[in-house]
Amino acid sequence: MAPTLEMALAFHQAVLDDRMALTATMSRLRELTRGGDYAYYIDIAFFMAGLPLPAEHTAPQWLDGEQATRARWRELVTARRDFLRARR
């Protein structure tokens, strides 16, 4: 359950554009997924934040390709950010 909770936190921090907190969350997520379970969460966190994947990272094969997957996850973040701004 911990990796899933860290993913939710990464989403929240990406929406807030809190890079410092997001960096710490991504580090914890790397540790939690080191054994291979939920390793794709790392990619998703980078996609949500709009960051390039680390050079040493071996990306999984995404069904629609990395760029389409990246765009969808990033759109979730930007849509939420826009929604929160409109509520102010």
Contact in structure between 38 and 45 (CB atoms under 8 Å)? no
List helix spans (H) across the chain: 2-16, 19-32, 40-49, 66-87
Domains of the chain by residue range: 2-87
Nearest to 39 by CA among 31, 47, 50: 31
The 10s digit of each residue's pLDDT in 30-78 is: 999 988 889 899 999 999 999 998 887 776 788 999 999 999 999 999 9
The 10s digit of each residue's pLDDT in 4-23 is: 999 999 999 999 999 999 99
